Amino acid sequence: MTARPKFGDLVSVAGYGARLFQVDGYRTEHWHYPDEEWIDVVYELTDVQTGDWLEADADDLSVVAPAADAAEFLAAQKPAGLIILREDTPMLNFGYKPDPRKPSAKELAARKAAEKRRKIDALLDEYNDILTLVALFGGLEYTEKLAEIKRKLADASRKE
């Protein structure tokens, strides 16, 4: 380790190739045994490409860019891929795109059935509202609207 990494610094980790990580925090672990004791410094890191979390020993880290220059450094790597994983943490997405899961046939059928139920419920609500208006105010002007809603209900209720 050349310099002790600070919060927000970009670092590389031994064994992780060219992947870059940003320092989120660190902790010290003080170990006590009858014949020995030691202190480990463990860094908590976030991969700037995938957002994966990693813990690494201080001796495995090399500072690539200090926190003050992190955004500029990442933008120079691939300007179009700049994303923000946290409000104060500029990150890069080097072409990583999670595959969107395609809905199964069962899920698609369930969605279609739910949409059909919503449409029928809305039509029934409208029909009941108009019946209430007829009961309150009377009038034949609502009969056309009732007939139109009945037609829509018949169409929506048909099996496909």
pTM of the predicted protein model? 0.49
Q: Which residues of 61-96 are buried (b: 16+ CB within 10 A; e: fewer)?
A: bebbbebeebbebbeebeeebeeebeeebbbbbeee
Mean pLDDT of 20-44: 92
pLDDT score of 26 = 92
pLDDT score of 23 = 93
CB 60 within 8 A of CB 14: yes
Query: Strand (E) positions, 81-153?
Result: 82-86, 89-92
pLDDT score of 56 = 93
- Euclidean distance between CA atoms 12 and 84, whole angstroms: 19
The residue with tokens 């609502």 is 142
**80, pLDDT greater than 50:** no
**101, pLDDT greater than 50:** yes
Calculate what percentage of the chain has a pLDDT beyond 70.
83
pLDDT score of 17 = 87
